[in-house]
Amino acid sequence: MLKSIIGRSSSKQNADMESFFPIRPDCQQHVPKTRFKPKVGKTLSERRWNAAFDKDGRLDIAAVLRRIQRGGIHPSIKGAVWEFLLGCYDPNSTSEERENLRKKRREQYNSWKEECKKIVPIIGTGNFVMAPLESEDGEPVESNGILQPNSDDESDKKVSQWKLSLHQIGLDVVRTDRALVFYENEANQAKLWDLLAIYTWVDDDIGYVQGMNDICSPMVILLKDEADAFWCFEHAMRRVRENFRSNATSMGVQAQLGILSQVMRVVDPKLHQHLEGLDGGEYLFAIRMLMVLFRREFSFIDALYLWEVMWAMEYNPNMFADYASNGSHEVVATKLSSKVLQQYGKYERKNVRNGRTDQKSLLAVFLVAGVLETKNKKLLNEAKGLDDVAQIMGDITGSLDAKKALTEALKIHKKYMNKARN
């Protein structure tokens, strides 16, 4: 009887979760199973979230981080909480200060949008393009049916490069989270396209790279205001932006792959040596996991849970000041009190205590190392070539438990730090 009640309760919780992010009926059988369930007393609820602000709107970030690290965030408040986790807002700011900043950011976004719309008028219309607007040599393509105004900017390299990326964004948009009912509505797809197009215009140094759509999509779904979604995405990209930088000879993500190789050499030399023998010592098979933060390995809901717990564990209270000053904010190395340390995430707190503030050994690297450790025997016994490694790692899709993966990552981190110290 008790088992029956628990079973019904578990099914109801899953149904409740999926009511926030409904799956198309024809895709139900093909999406990974969702394991995350909000737990009373552990998951950050709307009531707890609202109670964490004082009368002026300042946030008790230490209490919020504790909750998230124990049980994630309830879907009803994810967007609002993410804005703080990603450093969009300072927890010590007042409600009025945040409202003023939000207003300025919305104005800035709308200004960029108008700028882009003058060059490509389809932006902001609820439609988007999937065919090239111009050829590689900068000549307009007339067959796509999109009228483009004459502009003095036509010869400008930035404009030309940007236009070349817009149809690729469109092709990726229609493939993004297509199992979700949300994206059955073309207006929502267009919103994702607009946001990525404008981000690519603003960050022309790196431009658009496939995978950015997977990081942007949850922001579009969680935050109703397009400008707010943009700034949330822009702050998320600050954490992973360098992974997307590439040229003819290298990819930005190789820096993290190098750290992964170093970690595996220390924590599991036997497996590292085996992979090196298969020509896999550069860990290129882990590129996708690091680029899109495990979006493809988990269900939509579980991926969001993984991200928010990772961000909570990596949280640094100096993040907002650092972003606001474009990295020139100087953090003076002093011994921090226990109270101040509570404002750091669990993972970041250990780094600070150990004197490591380089921010390079991100938790995502240890997550990959943890996954490799769980597949240790299979890789050692069955992997005879890189194709086997890719298949074994590919088979984890839908079978990973986000909470266990995070626990394993912290264990690997501790093991690495202890061995590296010795």
pLDDT along the chain (422 residues), means of 10: 44 63 91 89 96 97 96 96 97 97 98 96 96 72 53 69 95 96 97 98 94 97 98 95 84 90 95 93 90 90 96 92 67 65 90 68 89 94 93 85 92 89 72
Q: Which residues contact 300 (CB under 8 A, 6 or more apart)?
A: 21, 31, 34, 177, 179, 180, 218
Residues of the chain with CATH 1.10.8.270: 95-243
Q: Are 96 and 326 in contact (CB under 8 A)?
A: no
Q: What's the pLDDT at 136? A: 66
Tell me the whole-structure pTM to 2 decimals: 0.90
Return d(Cα 420, Cα 256) in angstroms, integer: 17
In the structure encoding, which two tokens stand for residue 26, read together? 């024809």
| Residue position matching structure tokens 């438990």 | 401
Q: What is the CATH number of domain 246-420?
A: 1.10.472
Residues 59-90: b if buried by 16+ CB within 10 A, e if exposed: bebbebbbbbbebbbbbebbbbbbbbbbbbbb
Q: Which fold has domain 95-243?
A: Helicase, Ruva Protein; domain 3 (1.10.8)
Q: Which amino acid is at 211?
A: G
Q: What's the pLDDT at 227? A: 98
Q: What's the pLDDT at 276? A: 93
Distance of CA 366 to the CA centre of its chain: 16
Return d(Cα 205, Cα 307) in angstroms, integer: 26
First and final C-alpha spacing in the chain: 54
Q: What's the pLDDT at 338? A: 79
Q: What's the pLDDT at 359? A: 52
Q: What's the pLDDT at 398? A: 77
